Amino acid sequence: MKKAVVVGSGAGGAVAAKRLQGRFDVTVLEAGRAFKPFAPSLGLIDRIKSAGLLFHAKEIGLLFPAMDVRRTTHGMILIRGKATGGTTTLATGNALRLDRDLKELGIDLGPEFASLEREVPVTADHRGTWREASRRLFRACEEMGLAPEPTPKMGRQDRCAGCGRCVLGCPNGVKWDARSFLREALTRGARLRTGASVERIVIRGGEAAGVEVRAGWRREFVPADVVIIAAGGLGTPPILEKSGIACEQRLFVDPVLCVAARWPGARQNRELPMPFFARKEKYIISPYFDLLSYFFSPAWKPPAGDILSLMIKLADDDSGIVAAGSIRKPLTEPDRERLAEAADLCAAVFERLGVRKDSLFFGILNAGHPGGALPLGPASATTFHDPRLPGNVYIADASLLPRSLGAPPIWTIMAMAGRVTALLGAPGAS
Protein backbone atom coordinates (compact mmCIF):
# COMPACT_ATOMS: atom_id res chain seq x y z
CA MET A 1 0.00 0.00 0.00
CA LYS A 2 1.27 3.47 -0.83
CA LYS A 3 2.29 5.72 2.03
CA ALA A 4 0.76 9.13 2.78
CA VAL A 5 2.21 11.59 5.26
CA VAL A 6 -0.17 14.19 6.71
CA VAL A 7 1.53 17.14 8.37
CA GLY A 8 -0.73 18.55 11.10
CA SER A 9 -3.74 17.10 12.92
CA GLY A 10 -6.10 20.07 12.92
CA ALA A 11 -9.14 20.79 10.74
CA GLY A 12 -7.53 19.94 7.41
CA GLY A 13 -5.09 17.30 8.61
CA ALA A 14 -7.64 15.24 10.52
CA VAL A 15 -10.03 15.20 7.56
CA ALA A 16 -7.18 14.14 5.26
CA ALA A 17 -6.07 11.39 7.64
CA LYS A 18 -9.55 9.96 8.06
CA ARG A 19 -10.37 10.04 4.34
CA LEU A 20 -7.02 8.68 3.12
CA GLN A 21 -6.48 5.85 5.61
CA GLY A 22 -7.29 2.61 3.86
CA ARG A 23 -6.47 3.78 0.38
CA PHE A 24 -3.09 4.86 1.77
CA ASP A 25 -1.04 3.84 4.77
CA VAL A 26 -1.26 7.15 6.66
CA THR A 27 1.20 8.68 9.12
CA VAL A 28 0.14 11.90 10.85
CA LEU A 29 2.96 14.13 12.06
CA GLU A 30 1.96 16.64 14.76
CA ALA A 31 4.46 19.18 16.09
CA GLY A 32 2.59 19.47 19.41
CA ARG A 33 1.69 16.89 22.02
CA ALA A 34 -1.58 15.29 23.02
CA PHE A 35 -4.11 18.03 23.75
CA LYS A 36 -5.12 18.64 27.35
CA PRO A 37 -7.67 21.29 28.35
CA PHE A 38 -6.52 24.28 30.40
CA ALA A 39 -6.51 23.00 33.97
CA PRO A 40 -6.28 26.04 36.32
CA SER A 41 -9.48 27.39 37.79
CA LEU A 42 -10.78 30.58 36.21
CA GLY A 43 -11.46 31.74 39.76
CA LEU A 44 -7.70 31.74 40.25
CA ILE A 45 -7.39 34.18 37.37
CA ASP A 46 -9.93 36.44 39.10
CA ARG A 47 -7.79 36.41 42.23
CA ILE A 48 -4.61 37.13 40.28
CA LYS A 49 -6.34 40.03 38.52
CA SER A 50 -7.70 41.39 41.79
CA ALA A 51 -4.18 41.35 43.25
CA GLY A 52 -2.92 43.41 40.31
CA LEU A 53 -0.61 40.64 39.09
CA LEU A 54 -0.36 40.44 35.34
CA PHE A 55 2.13 38.76 33.06
CA HIS A 56 2.84 38.84 29.36
CA ALA A 57 0.39 37.17 26.99
CA LYS A 58 3.16 35.16 25.36
CA GLU A 59 3.80 33.44 28.70
CA ILE A 60 0.42 31.71 28.57
CA GLY A 61 2.25 28.82 26.93
CA LEU A 62 3.84 28.06 30.29
CA LEU A 63 0.38 27.41 31.75
CA PHE A 64 -1.22 26.04 28.60
CA PRO A 65 1.28 24.45 26.16
CA ALA A 66 -1.44 23.70 23.61
CA MET A 67 -1.87 27.44 22.97
CA ASP A 68 0.96 28.78 20.84
CA VAL A 69 1.05 32.58 21.20
CA ARG A 70 3.19 34.61 18.86
CA ARG A 71 3.61 38.32 18.23
CA THR A 72 3.99 39.90 14.81
CA THR A 73 6.66 42.47 14.02
CA HIS A 74 3.85 45.05 14.30
CA GLY A 75 2.72 43.93 17.76
CA MET A 76 -0.42 41.93 17.00
CA ILE A 77 -0.87 38.73 19.01
CA LEU A 78 -1.48 35.59 16.96
CA ILE A 79 -2.88 32.44 18.57
CA ARG A 80 -2.93 28.91 17.22
CA GLY A 81 -3.30 25.42 18.62
CA LYS A 82 -0.16 23.32 18.88
CA ALA A 83 -1.39 19.90 19.94
CA THR A 84 -3.50 17.08 18.57
CA GLY A 85 -6.61 18.59 17.02
CA GLY A 86 -4.79 21.80 16.17
CA THR A 87 -6.70 25.05 16.59
CA THR A 88 -10.08 23.26 16.54
CA THR A 89 -9.54 22.48 20.23
CA LEU A 90 -9.30 26.21 21.00
CA ALA A 91 -12.00 27.45 18.64
CA THR A 92 -15.63 27.99 19.54
CA GLY A 93 -16.96 25.21 17.30
CA ASN A 94 -18.56 27.34 14.59
CA ALA A 95 -19.72 25.60 11.39
CA LEU A 96 -20.10 28.39 8.85
CA ARG A 97 -20.07 27.63 5.13
CA LEU A 98 -17.91 30.40 3.68
CA ASP A 99 -17.22 29.45 0.08
CA ARG A 100 -18.29 32.54 -1.86
CA ASP A 101 -14.77 33.23 -3.13
CA LEU A 102 -14.35 29.59 -4.09
CA LYS A 103 -17.62 29.61 -6.03
CA GLU A 104 -16.32 32.59 -7.99
CA LEU A 105 -13.47 30.33 -9.12
CA GLY A 106 -15.98 27.69 -10.22
CA ILE A 107 -15.37 25.46 -7.18
CA ASP A 108 -18.44 23.68 -5.83
CA LEU A 109 -17.76 22.10 -2.44
CA GLY A 110 -21.37 21.03 -2.00
CA PRO A 111 -20.55 17.29 -1.85
CA GLU A 112 -17.83 17.87 0.72
CA PHE A 113 -20.07 19.99 2.94
CA ALA A 114 -22.82 17.37 2.64
CA SER A 115 -20.39 14.67 3.77
CA LEU A 116 -19.34 16.70 6.78
CA GLU A 117 -22.96 17.31 7.74
CA ARG A 118 -23.48 13.54 7.86
CA GLU A 119 -20.46 13.02 10.10
CA VAL A 120 -20.40 15.98 12.47
CA PRO A 121 -23.31 17.00 14.71
CA VAL A 122 -24.18 20.63 13.96
CA THR A 123 -26.99 22.74 15.40
CA ALA A 124 -28.06 26.37 15.55
CA ASP A 125 -30.90 25.50 17.92
CA HIS A 126 -29.31 26.71 21.14
CA ARG A 127 -31.15 29.95 21.91
CA GLY A 128 -32.65 28.34 24.98
CA THR A 129 -29.20 28.36 26.60
CA TRP A 130 -28.52 32.10 26.09
CA ARG A 131 -28.37 34.39 29.06
CA GLU A 132 -30.51 37.51 29.23
CA ALA A 133 -27.65 39.82 28.23
CA SER A 134 -27.13 37.89 24.99
CA ARG A 135 -30.86 37.94 24.29
CA ARG A 136 -30.87 41.69 24.69
CA LEU A 137 -27.90 42.06 22.35
CA PHE A 138 -29.69 39.90 19.76
CA ARG A 139 -32.86 42.02 20.00
CA ALA A 140 -30.83 45.21 19.68
CA CYS A 141 -29.17 43.88 16.52
CA GLU A 142 -32.59 42.91 15.13
CA GLU A 143 -33.98 46.38 15.86
CA MET A 144 -31.02 47.93 14.04
CA GLY A 145 -31.65 45.84 10.94
CA LEU A 146 -28.42 43.84 11.28
CA ALA A 147 -30.15 40.49 10.62
CA PRO A 148 -28.40 38.53 13.38
CA GLU A 149 -28.29 34.74 13.00
CA PRO A 150 -27.74 32.04 15.63
CA THR A 151 -24.33 30.52 14.93
CA PRO A 152 -24.31 26.87 13.82
CA LYS A 153 -22.17 24.95 16.32
CA MET A 154 -20.34 21.64 16.04
CA GLY A 155 -21.08 19.31 18.93
CA ARG A 156 -23.80 18.20 21.29
CA GLN A 157 -24.99 21.56 22.56
CA ASP A 158 -27.81 19.96 24.53
CA ARG A 159 -25.11 18.70 26.92
CA CYS A 160 -23.41 22.08 27.37
CA ALA A 161 -22.79 22.90 31.04
CA GLY A 162 -22.29 26.65 30.43
CA CYS A 163 -18.75 26.71 31.82
CA GLY A 164 -17.41 29.24 29.29
CA ARG A 165 -14.22 27.27 28.67
CA CYS A 166 -14.71 26.45 24.97
CA VAL A 167 -11.54 28.26 23.91
CA LEU A 168 -9.52 26.50 26.63
CA GLY A 169 -10.57 23.02 25.58
CA CYS A 170 -14.08 21.78 26.31
CA PRO A 171 -13.78 19.82 29.58
CA ASN A 172 -17.04 17.96 29.03
CA GLY A 173 -16.62 16.62 25.49
CA VAL A 174 -19.54 18.70 24.21
CA LYS A 175 -17.74 20.68 21.51
CA TRP A 176 -16.63 18.75 18.44
CA ASP A 177 -12.98 19.07 17.49
CA ALA A 178 -10.66 17.42 14.96
CA ARG A 179 -9.48 14.79 17.42
CA SER A 180 -12.70 12.92 16.66
CA PHE A 181 -11.67 12.37 13.02
CA LEU A 182 -8.10 11.68 14.13
CA ARG A 183 -9.28 8.90 16.45
CA GLU A 184 -11.26 7.35 13.58
CA ALA A 185 -8.19 7.41 11.36
CA LEU A 186 -6.13 5.74 14.08
CA THR A 187 -8.79 3.09 14.63
CA ARG A 188 -8.55 2.27 10.93
CA GLY A 189 -4.79 1.80 11.13
CA ALA A 190 -3.24 5.25 10.73
CA ARG A 191 -0.24 6.16 12.86
CA LEU A 192 0.22 9.36 14.85
CA ARG A 193 3.52 10.86 15.93
CA THR A 194 3.42 13.82 18.29
CA GLY A 195 6.31 16.13 19.03
CA ALA A 196 7.34 15.64 15.40
CA SER A 197 8.04 18.99 13.74
CA VAL A 198 8.36 18.78 9.96
CA GLU A 199 11.29 20.86 8.72
CA ARG A 200 10.99 20.41 4.96
CA ILE A 201 9.75 18.26 2.12
CA VAL A 202 12.50 16.09 0.65
CA ILE A 203 12.29 16.43 -3.14
CA ARG A 204 14.02 14.01 -5.50
CA GLY A 205 13.64 14.13 -9.25
CA GLY A 206 10.90 16.74 -8.99
CA GLU A 207 8.70 14.63 -6.71
CA ALA A 208 8.41 14.43 -2.93
CA ALA A 209 10.17 11.39 -1.50
CA GLY A 210 9.02 12.20 2.04
CA VAL A 211 9.65 14.76 4.75
CA GLU A 212 12.43 15.61 7.14
CA VAL A 213 11.24 15.61 10.75
CA ARG A 214 12.81 17.06 13.86
CA ALA A 215 11.94 15.32 17.12
CA GLY A 216 13.90 16.88 19.97
CA TRP A 217 17.53 16.91 18.89
CA ARG A 218 17.04 14.19 16.30
CA ARG A 219 16.30 14.60 12.63
CA GLU A 220 14.98 11.79 10.51
CA PHE A 221 13.50 11.10 7.12
CA VAL A 222 9.92 9.83 6.84
CA PRO A 223 9.23 8.39 3.37
CA ALA A 224 5.96 9.03 1.54
CA ASP A 225 4.32 8.57 -1.83
CA VAL A 226 1.97 11.48 -1.12
CA VAL A 227 2.47 14.43 1.24
CA ILE A 228 -0.42 16.53 2.60
CA ILE A 229 0.70 19.73 4.31
CA ALA A 230 -1.95 20.94 6.78
CA ALA A 231 0.22 22.79 9.27
CA GLY A 232 -1.91 25.94 9.18
CA GLY A 233 -1.43 29.43 7.83
CA LEU A 234 1.60 30.02 10.05
CA GLY A 235 3.08 26.51 9.87
CA THR A 236 2.80 25.66 6.19
CA PRO A 237 4.71 28.62 4.64
CA PRO A 238 7.98 27.95 6.55
CA ILE A 239 7.90 24.27 5.52
CA LEU A 240 7.46 25.23 1.88
CA GLU A 241 10.13 27.94 2.13
CA LYS A 242 12.69 25.48 3.53
CA SER A 243 11.74 23.07 0.75
CA GLY A 244 12.60 25.62 -1.93
CA ILE A 245 8.94 26.24 -2.84
CA ALA A 246 7.98 29.89 -3.17
CA CYS A 247 4.78 31.10 -1.50
CA GLU A 248 2.88 34.29 -2.19
CA GLN A 249 4.11 37.33 -0.28
CA ARG A 250 0.80 37.66 1.49
CA LEU A 251 -0.86 36.89 4.81
CA PHE A 252 -4.26 37.61 6.29
CA VAL A 253 -5.20 36.77 9.89
CA ASP A 254 -8.83 37.86 10.61
CA PRO A 255 -7.98 40.38 13.39
CA VAL A 256 -10.20 40.30 16.47
CA LEU A 257 -11.00 43.29 18.66
CA CYS A 258 -13.58 43.20 21.46
CA VAL A 259 -15.64 46.16 22.59
CA ALA A 260 -16.81 45.72 26.18
CA ALA A 261 -18.86 47.30 28.94
CA ARG A 262 -19.53 46.77 32.63
CA TRP A 263 -22.81 44.87 32.92
CA PRO A 264 -23.42 43.49 36.41
CA GLY A 265 -24.66 39.92 36.29
CA ALA A 266 -23.98 39.43 32.56
CA ARG A 267 -22.19 36.12 33.21
CA GLN A 268 -21.09 36.07 29.57
CA ASN A 269 -17.93 34.36 30.78
CA ARG A 270 -20.12 31.34 31.59
CA GLU A 271 -21.94 31.12 28.30
CA LEU A 272 -21.57 29.63 24.83
CA PRO A 273 -19.15 31.95 22.96
CA MET A 274 -20.38 33.57 19.74
CA PRO A 275 -24.00 32.42 20.15
CA PHE A 276 -25.04 34.59 17.20
CA PHE A 277 -23.41 36.84 14.63
CA ALA A 278 -24.31 39.79 12.45
CA ARG A 279 -22.51 40.00 9.13
CA LYS A 280 -21.31 43.10 7.32
CA GLU A 281 -19.32 43.14 4.09
CA LYS A 282 -15.86 43.16 5.70
CA TYR A 283 -16.48 41.96 9.26
CA ILE A 284 -18.84 40.25 11.64
CA ILE A 285 -19.81 41.18 15.19
CA SER A 286 -20.72 38.57 17.78
CA PRO A 287 -21.07 38.31 21.58
CA TYR A 288 -17.82 36.92 22.94
CA PHE A 289 -16.10 37.03 26.31
CA ASP A 290 -12.43 37.49 25.42
CA LEU A 291 -10.43 35.47 27.93
CA LEU A 292 -7.17 36.70 26.44
CA SER A 293 -8.11 40.29 27.21
CA TYR A 294 -9.42 39.35 30.64
CA PHE A 295 -6.19 37.55 31.48
CA PHE A 296 -3.82 40.26 30.30
CA SER A 297 -5.51 43.65 29.84
CA PRO A 298 -5.70 45.99 32.87
CA ALA A 299 -8.87 47.50 31.38
CA TRP A 300 -10.75 44.22 31.91
CA LYS A 301 -11.25 44.36 35.66
CA PRO A 302 -12.78 41.59 37.80
CA PRO A 303 -15.23 40.18 38.41
CA ALA A 304 -15.37 38.53 34.99
CA GLY A 305 -19.11 37.92 35.31
CA ASP A 306 -19.79 41.66 35.18
CA ILE A 307 -18.29 42.20 31.71
CA LEU A 308 -20.33 42.11 28.49
CA SER A 309 -18.44 42.10 25.19
CA LEU A 310 -18.97 42.17 21.45
CA MET A 311 -16.29 40.75 19.18
CA ILE A 312 -15.28 42.31 15.87
CA LYS A 313 -13.78 39.79 13.46
CA LEU A 314 -12.31 41.64 10.51
CA ALA A 315 -11.66 40.53 6.94
CA ASP A 316 -8.23 42.13 6.66
CA ASP A 317 -6.07 42.91 3.67
CA ASP A 318 -3.42 40.31 2.84
CA SER A 319 -0.49 42.68 3.45
CA GLY A 320 1.72 40.36 5.46
CA ILE A 321 4.17 37.51 5.20
CA VAL A 322 5.47 34.54 7.19
CA ALA A 323 9.16 34.14 6.39
CA ALA A 324 12.56 33.53 7.95
CA GLY A 325 11.08 32.76 11.34
CA SER A 326 9.16 36.02 11.71
CA ILE A 327 5.65 37.24 10.98
CA ARG A 328 5.11 40.65 9.42
CA LYS A 329 1.49 41.71 9.64
CA PRO A 330 0.59 45.42 9.62
CA LEU A 331 -2.95 46.73 9.56
CA THR A 332 -3.47 48.76 6.40
CA GLU A 333 -5.30 52.08 6.43
CA PRO A 334 -8.45 50.40 4.99
CA ASP A 335 -8.18 47.78 7.77
CA ARG A 336 -8.08 50.51 10.41
CA GLU A 337 -11.01 52.32 8.82
CA ARG A 338 -13.11 49.13 8.79
CA LEU A 339 -12.11 48.37 12.38
CA ALA A 340 -13.20 51.87 13.46
CA GLU A 341 -16.48 51.47 11.59
CA ALA A 342 -17.11 48.14 13.32
CA ALA A 343 -16.27 49.61 16.73
CA ASP A 344 -18.79 52.39 16.12
CA LEU A 345 -21.41 49.79 15.22
CA CYS A 346 -20.71 47.89 18.46
CA ALA A 347 -21.02 51.16 20.37
CA ALA A 348 -24.40 51.77 18.71
CA VAL A 349 -25.59 48.30 19.77
CA PHE A 350 -24.51 48.98 23.36
CA GLU A 351 -26.21 52.38 23.24
CA ARG A 352 -29.54 50.65 22.53
CA LEU A 353 -28.94 48.79 25.79
CA GLY A 354 -28.40 52.08 27.60
CA VAL A 355 -24.58 51.92 27.74
CA ARG A 356 -22.78 55.20 27.07
CA LYS A 357 -20.03 55.17 24.46
CA ASP A 358 -17.54 56.86 26.79
CA SER A 359 -17.86 53.97 29.27
CA LEU A 360 -16.81 51.29 26.78
CA PHE A 361 -13.36 49.70 26.82
CA PHE A 362 -11.44 47.58 24.32
CA GLY A 363 -9.74 44.21 24.33
CA ILE A 364 -6.32 43.17 23.08
CA LEU A 365 -5.96 43.11 19.30
CA ASN A 366 -5.35 39.49 18.39
CA ALA A 367 -5.97 37.04 15.58
CA GLY A 368 -6.21 33.33 14.92
CA HIS A 369 -7.15 32.66 11.28
CA PRO A 370 -3.92 33.03 9.28
CA GLY A 371 -3.91 32.04 5.64
CA GLY A 372 -3.54 32.93 1.99
CA ALA A 373 0.09 31.98 1.30
CA LEU A 374 -0.69 29.59 -1.58
CA PRO A 375 -4.21 30.59 -2.63
CA LEU A 376 -6.42 28.73 -5.03
CA GLY A 377 -6.82 30.46 -8.38
CA PRO A 378 -7.91 29.75 -11.94
CA ALA A 379 -4.89 27.47 -12.50
CA SER A 380 -5.61 25.30 -9.46
CA ALA A 381 -9.40 25.52 -9.09
CA THR A 382 -10.07 22.09 -10.56
CA THR A 383 -6.94 20.29 -9.33
CA PHE A 384 -6.49 21.94 -5.88
CA HIS A 385 -2.81 21.68 -6.73
CA ASP A 386 -0.58 24.70 -7.19
CA PRO A 387 1.85 24.25 -10.11
CA ARG A 388 4.73 25.32 -7.85
CA LEU A 389 4.31 22.15 -5.78
CA PRO A 390 5.72 18.74 -6.63
CA GLY A 391 3.04 16.61 -8.25
CA ASN A 392 2.52 14.48 -5.15
CA VAL A 393 2.31 17.32 -2.60
CA TYR A 394 -0.97 18.98 -1.64
CA ILE A 395 -1.99 21.72 0.80
CA ALA A 396 -5.08 21.24 3.01
CA ASP A 397 -5.39 24.30 5.25
CA ALA A 398 -6.22 28.01 5.17
CA SER A 399 -3.19 28.69 2.96
CA LEU A 400 -5.55 27.80 0.08
CA LEU A 401 -8.06 30.56 0.81
CA PRO A 402 -8.00 33.35 -1.80
CA ARG A 403 -8.67 36.04 0.80
CA SER A 404 -9.64 36.65 4.39
CA LEU A 405 -13.11 35.42 5.32
CA GLY A 406 -13.55 37.70 8.31
CA ALA A 407 -15.39 34.82 9.96
CA PRO A 408 -14.59 31.37 11.41
CA PRO A 409 -13.02 29.23 8.61
CA ILE A 410 -12.83 25.73 10.15
CA TRP A 411 -15.88 24.23 8.40
CA THR A 412 -14.66 25.55 5.04
CA ILE A 413 -11.11 24.28 5.62
CA MET A 414 -12.52 20.83 6.37
CA ALA A 415 -14.48 20.87 3.11
CA MET A 416 -11.39 21.91 1.13
CA ALA A 417 -9.41 19.07 2.72
CA GLY A 418 -12.19 16.71 1.70
CA ARG A 419 -11.84 17.87 -1.90
CA VAL A 420 -8.08 17.28 -1.81
CA THR A 421 -8.57 13.69 -0.64
CA ALA A 422 -11.32 13.08 -3.21
CA LEU A 423 -8.91 14.12 -5.95
CA LEU A 424 -6.48 11.55 -4.55
CA GLY A 425 -9.12 8.88 -5.00
CA ALA A 426 -10.18 8.58 -1.38
CA PRO A 427 -13.81 7.59 -0.74
CA GLY A 428 -16.18 10.11 0.78
CA ALA A 429 -17.64 10.07 4.27
CA SER A 430 -18.63 6.74 5.72
Q: Is residue 349 helix, strand or coil?
A: helix
Distance CA 343, CA 237 (A): 32
pLDDT at 157 over 90: no
CATH number, domain containing residue 256: 3.30.410
Residue 382 falls inside a structural domain? no
Into how many domains does the chain fold?
A: 1
Beta bridge partners of 193: 29
Can you state the angle between helices 333-352 and 132-143, rounded to 10 degrees?
Answer: 110
Distance from C-alpha of 7 to C-alpha of 30, rounded to nearest angstrom: 6
Pick from 412, 105, 389: nearest CA to 237? 389
In the predicted structure, residue 430 carries a pLDDT above the cut 60: no
Q: Name the phi and psi angles at 163, rounded to 5.
A: -90, -15
- Write the pLDDT tens digit of every residue in 234-272: 999 999 999 999 999 999 999 999 999 999 999 999 999
**What pLDDT, on a 0 to 100 scale, did the predictor assign at position 349?**
98
pLDDT reported for residue 325: 73
Peptide bond into 378 cis (omega under 30): no
Is 350 strand, coil or helix?
Answer: helix
pLDDT per residue over 331-359, tens digit each? 999 999 999 999 999 999 999 999 999 99
What distance in Å separates the CA atoms of residue 401 and residue 369, rounded to the nearest whole number? 11
- The reply to whether 3 falls in a domain is no
Could you tell me if 129 and 160 are in contact, meaning their C-beta atoms sit under 8 angstroms apart? yes
Average pLDDT along the chain: 94
Residues 6+ apart with CB under 8 A from 327: 70, 72, 73, 78, 234, 251, 320, 321
HEC sequence for 301-312: CCCHHHEEEEEE
Kindly indicate the confidence band of residue 55, based on its pLDDT and cuts at 50, 70 and 90: low
Query: Cβ distance 339 to 314 under 8 Å?
Result: yes
Residue 382 — very low, low, confident or very high, per pLDDT cuts 50/70/90? Answer: very high
What's the full length of the chain, in residues? 430
The pTM assigned to this predicted structure is 0.96
User: Is residue 85 assigned to a domain?
Assistant: no
Range of the structural domain that residue 293 is part of: 42-75+124-169+251-367
Range 47-71 burial, b when 16+ CB lie within 10 A, else e = eebeeeeeeebeebeeebebbbbbb
Write the CA distances from 116 to 11, 157, 320, 342, integer angstroms. Answer: 12, 17, 32, 32
CA distance 66 to 89: 9
Task: Count CB neighbours of 341 within 10 A.
Answer: 14
Predicted local distance difference test score (pLDDT) of residue 261: 98
DSSP letter string, 285-332: EEE---HHHHHH-TTSPSPGGGEEEEEEEE------EEETTEEE-PPP
pLDDT bucket at 58, cuts 50 / 70 / 90: low
